[in-house]
Amino acid sequence: MKQLLILSGKGGTGKTTIASAFIKLAQAQACADCDVDAPNLHLILQRTEEPERYNYYGLSKAVIDSQLCIFCDLCRINCRFGAIQSGKAYTIDSFACEGCGVCVSVCPVQAIALQPAVAGERLFYSKQSIFSTARLQMGSGTSGKLVTEVKKQMQQSSITDGLAVIDGSPGIGCPVIASLSGVDMVLIVVEPSISGISDMERIIQTAQQFQIRIIVCINKYDINLENTKKIEKFCHDKVLCFAGRIPFDPEVIKAINLAQSIVDRDCPSSRAVKDVFAVVQRELENS
């Protein structure tokens, strides 16, 4: 099973739209949504069965035993995150607590302990085809670790042949680095804007550290033809495979509003995505 990861240097470039189209075109038997901070691939895939659900435990959080607390105030004074409030009893704000353990160390009566805390939920669909995803709770950290769990969940399925499509996170942070590990190719979706070009360069530099084959496509290329030419020249100069252009198309919005893949419609963007997919498929076969 070859793994194709779809990334973008910034949000809103159409990464998930293209990922869902590729899943349909490849008739992929395995896919994953690794954008655990804001997963949305499931909205287009329209999986109707109830998934298997698993709690995800991130950083441990401090918990105070009010029966043992002697109100010495050392925990509150030494908490650099301002997570401890005093009142009739000391309480800990779980959103502010970073699980550093300083309060545990300074408490003279061992009234504070670090306990595992649920930071999100892993979801696994397996009836029709394999789909692995997760939701990180608001304010929770360790998103990179959760991405690793999502990929591992997909890889441990019985699917060994064909193409697995992974929808990654925007940017270059921990979730992206975790999603890059072990994939066969990265498709970078870029829009022709100044910020889009800058973010593309950053994500390419990040992906190159993993020595993974990189391929680039431009979405909404016709909103700025001058920047589109700059991106194509950049790919030529850096000897990067350029997969093609996808035009701005109002039909994409209509498809998304109906929770459809764009390849379900006959429109300019749909035909362009099919051409991009053909290039990606050829490059994967030759890699």
Whole-angstrom CA distances from 24 to 18, 20, 263, 287 are: 10, 6, 8, 22
- Stretch 10-20: mean pLDDT: 90
Question: Does residue 39 sit in the same domain as residue 84?
Answer: no
- Residues 74, 169, single domain; the answer is no
Lowest mean pLDDT among 72-86, 150-164, 190-204: 150-164
Provide the mean pLDDT of the chain. 92
- Whether residue 190 is predicted with pLDDT greater than 90 in this model: the reply is yes
Cα–Cα dist 220/237, whole Å: 22
Helix (H) or strand (E) holding 64: strand 61-64
Specify whether 106 is located in the same domain as 140. no
Binned at pLDDT 50, 70 and 90, residue 171 comes out as confident
- Looking at residue 56, its pLDDT comes to 93
pLDDT band at residue 24 under the 50/70/90 scheme: very high
Q: Does 133 share its domain with 229?
A: yes
Task: Output the domain CATH number for residue 48.
Answer: 3.40.50.300
pLDDT cut 90: percent of the chain above it: 73
What's 82's domain CATH number? 3.30.70.20
For residues 207-229, average pLDDT: 94
Do 263 and 196 fall within a single domain?
Answer: yes
74 and 211: one domain?
A: no
Note every long-range contact of 25-28, with CB atoms under 8 Å and residues 24 or more positions apart, other chains counting: 25/263, 25/273, 25/274, 25/277, 26/162, 26/163, 26/165, 26/277, 26/281, 27/162, 28/129, 28/162, 28/163, 28/164, 28/165
C-beta separation of 251 from 266 below 8 A: no
* Claim to verify: residue 100 and residue 231 sit in the same structural domain: no
pTM over 0.85: yes
Q: Are 151 and 166 in contact (CB under 8 A)?
A: yes
Residue 140 has pLDDT above 90, yes or no: no
Query: What is the arithmetic mean of pLDDT over 140-169?
Result: 87
As beta bridge partners, residue 19 has none
Domain count, the chain: 2
Tokens at 159, concatenated: 């699917």
Residues 90 and 169 in one domain: no
> Per the domain annotation, does 124 fall within a domain?
no
Tell me the HSE value of 77 on the side-chain side, using a 13 A CA sphere. Answer: 7
Query: Does residue 251 sit within a domain?
Result: yes
| Spatial contact of 26 and 281, defined as CB atoms under 8 Å apart | yes
Q: Is 223 helix (H, G, I), strand (E, B) or coil?
A: helix
Closest CA to 34 of 125, 165, 162: 165
pLDDT at position 200: 92
Q: How much is the average pLDDT of 239-267?
A: 92
Element of type H or E holding 113:
strand 112-115
Q: Say yes or no to pLDDT of 156 above 90.
A: no
**The domain containing residue 170 runs over which residues?**
2-54+129-286
Identify whether residues 38 and 74 lie together within a single domain.
Answer: no
pLDDT of residue 158: 67
Residue 203 has which token pair?
């994500």
- Give the pLDDT score at 18: 95
Give the burial string for 96-129 (b: 16+ CB within 10 Å, else e). ebebbebbbeebeeebbbbeebebbbbbbbbeeb
